[in-house]
Structure 1
């Protein structure tokens, strides 16, 4: 998933080769019907899309702004429904037409506050009443390496604390948990859990997963 108007070159270049690792906590989806309409937003090469389909969900689809990532996913799994999203965050879906949206390691790739709010608003639009939004993302880290790069990026570009540039050129963001909860404040909280996860560049990092429901 790239920031709207932003990092297309990265996600069609180095980013298209990455391995994504955020785990699906399947017990959170235990009550979801097998024929529920599920959207994997920022699906990349379809890792989560494939995992859900392989567990019996019959109406799973993925969208991503990167043609290279979508092509990679289609080549590996031609049976998946993966589509390129031409103008994120806008979706071609009708309002209230989706039962579950998964947003895995996407907000980290959308560093701007306004762009994050626009993305969440679009996902809420397509969710049916009672639908679930399942977010998995990365928290602020307290080690010296990360503190230094947060501070350097904020001083140089005036970005929120937690935004940084990776060694291979992606602009990413780690989040304060209170900020994530505020971003999702229009939804009812269902569950929250902390995770330990490898980033796309192989660093062990603390993350969080939040399950919310549209009223």
Structure 2
């Protein structure tokens, strides 16, 4: 299961054509200096990076495991800093090197519990004390279609409940709210809100966003 957190072939193929939609709550970032060192982990083609840049943030970097998505980002926004993740979740940045890290719709692409914990630990390493972690992800859905595919995948692969395969070949995960809170329990909670999002395959889903501070 841990290797499914990479899925580079998918993201370099059909995944590189997707549109990502999780919204940025700029109100949450109102108190963050526009000179803050910002990292968008799993930046895709740089949609969130571009939005932050357009709202005055001047030191924004993005990393993603997909060379195709990074190439798409560089074509559309050559002014932004993109880098390919060579061995996720490891980052080639020094400890405490960022004041704000964003993790938008990334945990849904990392089905394995251990891989998720390793990712959050690496983000904690690169966050400065008092720095903010802004997470946006997808909750477990309660419709029959999703319940059926959660159950089918759990039986077939002994995967955590909420893992499923999309029709075009990605393995994704929807999350129990308590489980996400536990994953982020080493951080100090700042704010939490529920959202509705359109998934990369055009379905409406319930999601959640967390703003947390490194203790």
TM > 0.5 between the two? yes
Structure 2 segments unaligned to the other structure (5+ residues): none
* 1:152-167 to 2 correspondences below 5 Å: 152-167=152-167
Cα distance in structure 2, aligned partners of 1:44 and 1:98: 19
Structural RMSD (CA)? 1.1
Aligned to 2:147: 147
Aligned to 2:137: 137
Structure 1 segments unaligned to the other structure (5+ residues): none
Cα distance in structure 1, aligned partners of 2:87 and 2:50: 24
Cα distance in structure 2, aligned partners of 1:4 and 1:120: 17
Contact kept, 8 Å, 1:4 with 1:89, in 2: the verdict is no
SS in 2 for 1:149: helix
Contact kept, 8 Å, 2:5 with 2:110, in 1: the verdict is no
Scaled by the length of structure 1, the TM-score of the pair is 0.98
Show structure 1 runs of 4+ deviating over 2 A.
2-6
CA shift for structure 1 position 163 = 0.1
* 1:103-142 to 2 correspondences below 5 Å: 103-142=103-142
CA shift for structure 1 position 5 = 6.3
Cα distance in structure 2, aligned partners of 1:6 and 1:128: 26
Aligned to 1:211: 211
Scaled by the length of structure 2, the TM-score of the pair is 0.98
SS in 2 for 1:193: strand
Give the aligned length.
214
